[in-house]
Amino acid sequence: QQQVKQSPQSLIVQKGGISIINCAYENTAFDYFPWYQQFPGKGPALLIAIRPDVSEKKEGRFTISFNKSAKQFSLHIMDSQPGDSATYFCAATRSTGFQKLVFGTGTRLLVSP
C-alpha cells in the first residue's frame, strides 16, 4: 500500500511537444504529491506539488493533474524544451505527523531539438 507506480520509464518528446508522466498510488491516506526533477549528476529538486483539495495545479509550463477517485496524478510539460531533459520522480506522503516521502521509480525524459 506504500507504493507509488510511475510510467513510462523513459520518454522521448520533440521540442514543442507535450510530455506526460503518470503516477498511481494505493494509500488513500496520502495527501501531498510532489514532483522532483533531477538533472544528470545532480540531486533531485522540487519542481511542483499538489494537495488533493484541487484537481489541477499549474506553474508556468508545468501542470499537475490529480484524480482522487482514481488515485492517479500526472505531470504535463507543455511546449517541452531540450532544457527539460531530466529524470522526473513523483512522490506521495501524508501531511500529518512525520511521514516519509514514497517515490516513484522515475521517468527519464529526453526532449529532442
Partner 1 sequence: NAGVTQTPKFRVLKTGQSMTLLCAQDMNHEYMYWYRQDPGMGLRLIHYSVGEGTTAKGEVPDGYNVSRLKKQNFLLGLESAAPSQTSVYFCASSYSRLAGGADTQYFGPGTRLTVL
29 binds partner 1 (CB under 8 A): no
9 binds partner 1 (CB under 8 A): yes
Cα angle at 71 between 65 and 76, to 5 degrees?
A: 20
75 binds partner 1 (CB under 8 A): no
* The one segment of 20-28, 54-62, 67-75, 95-103 that binds partner 1 by CB under 8 A: 95-103
* Nearer to partner 1 among residue 6 and residue 63 (C-beta): 6
